Each structure stands twice: as structure tokens, then as C-alpha cells.
Amino acid sequence: MGTIRTDQWLEEDFDNPLKICERLLPYFKGQTEREIYRELMHFGMYQPSRSTKKNQLEMLKQQSWDKVEKIFAKYKNRWNGPDIPIFLFPIAQAGGFFRKEDKGKAGVSFPDKMFLFLSNFDNPKDVEALFVHEYHHVCRMRLLEKNIGDYTLLDSLIIEGLAEYTVLKNCGSEYLASWCGMYSEKEIKKFWNRYLKNQLGMKKKEREHDELLYGGGRVPKLLGYAVGFYLIGNYYKKNHYSTKLSFTTPAESYLKGVDLF
């Protein structure tokens, strides 16, 4: 599959994203184009505006589709990863949960597809870091063979921490998301005990799951992401890192020997 030529979709229907989402119906069984668009907007997909049109034109000028296809080929081969469709769209102006808001890039992954929301390709390594994070999700979700609705909060902490630790290993520390260093170790331990320790079995379909993962209200911003990265970093201080094993090692294993309790 690889990179789908959504540049052509955008050329025809940039001002009508629902029309674009109609083309996504075969990839989202049982959802309407409006539901698909709402879900993708939450993760960074554009709404038509002068600013997002500029992003689209920049992506065309910089041949973003061809460049992402090369990154995909590199990691598909390196990780023996699945052949999935990858959809590129301009990123929204603001709002939504973006992995790297300040760098104008975001993404969301499913076991059978990936979406990247971009503004430009000024720094190819930035886009590669985003790709690595999202494609690691795809590989882990595929190999765990667990229904997404059955993911627990612990599963979510670990999948996010692992994906970003893989960015560290493949792209370098300068390409880590800002949430990796958002809190001190002392704060992580305090938040772990206050918010997370007794909620690790909470299912993804429960409302509080996303509150604890993304933060908001009383919960510190991106708490679950920051703690997930801390847990993974701690684990690999004492254990050998293997990308292949990181796709299949059970989430519970990453709690062993962690000094948080």
C-alpha cells in the first residue's frame, strides 16, 4: 500500500474535507464520513483556511508524499513491518492533540493504517521522528493482536513510551517530543502515586482513560505520555533494547524493577 496520493484528493476537494473523508469510508468500517472527519480533526487534520491551504502548497512543493514513501520503505524493511496505507494531510492551525505542536506535525495510527498531518518538510528528520513514533504503534498493535477497546491505561502508557523511546534510538534525543522532559523525576513519582498507580487497569473506552493519558482539568498535561516515557527509559537502563521485542513484550513487563512505588 504505502503512501496514498492524497495530494490528488486535496487538489480536487481541499475545500470539502467531507468529500475527502468519503474516500476513506472503505478504511473505516461502520463510520460515516462526518464521524471520520471528527476523529481525524481531534488528532490534527486541517479545516479549510488560508493558513492550511498554504500548508498544502508547501507539502506539494517539498514533495512530501515521495519523501514519506522513502521513510516508510526504510522502516518497513528495517523492522519487517506491515504494508499499510499512509495518508498525508495538512495540519490544522491550532487545537487538537498534537505530538509536536511547535513543529507543525502530528499523526494518529491504527493497526491497519496511519495518518500524518504536516505543514512542511523543512527538517526531514522531524518528519522521520513522527513517522517512527506512529509506525511503532502500528507494529505493536498488529503483533499484540488486542482489540483497541480492550487496551488498559497501562497498555496506553507503555505504547506511547515505547514509540518515543524508539524515536530516541533511531533519530536522537533532539527529536524527542517536548513531553518527554515535561516533568522532573520527583514530579513523575508524585503524579504516579496520585493519579495513575491505582487506575492502570482502566479500559480505553472509559472516559477517565483519556483524561489520565492526555491530561486536562485536574490532571497535569500529557501526564500519561510523560510517565510512559519515564517507565520505558527506566526499564532500558537495566535491560537490553530490541526494537523487535518492543513490539511484543507485555506492558506489565515494563513495570518490573521500576523505582516508582
Side chain identity, residue 107: G
Contact 4, 64 (CB under 8 A): no
Confidence at residue 96, expressed as pLDDT on a 0 to 100 scale: 45
**528528520: which residue's cell?**
125
Which pLDDT does position 99 carry in this prediction? 46
Mean pLDDT confidence for 34-57: 96
pLDDT for 190 beyond 90: yes
Amino acid identity at 23? R
The predicted pLDDT at position 94 comes to: 55
Domain ranges of the chain: 2-144, 150-255
Q: DSSP E strands: which ranges in 79-136?
A: 85-90, 105-110, 113-118
The whole-number average pLDDT for the span 143-165 is 93
The arithmetic mean of pLDDT across residues 163-172, rounded, is 97
For the beta sheet containing 2-3, the strands, ordered from the edge strand earlier in sequence to the opposite edge, are 2-3, 85-90, 113-118, 105-110
Distances (CA, A) of 72 to 102, 117, 124, 130: 24, 15, 13, 12
Average pLDDT (16-22) is 98
CA–CA dist 107, 124 (Å, integer): 15
Q: Are the beta carbons of 130 and 100 closer than 8 angstroms?
A: yes
Work out the average pLDDT over 73-78: 98
Task: Tell me the pLDDT tens digit for each residue of 90-100.
Answer: 999 754 444 44
Residue in the block written with cell 521513510:
71
Which residue's entry shows cell 486535496?
A: 10
Region 38-62: mean pLDDT is: 95
The Cα–Cα gap between 227 and 153 comes to: 11
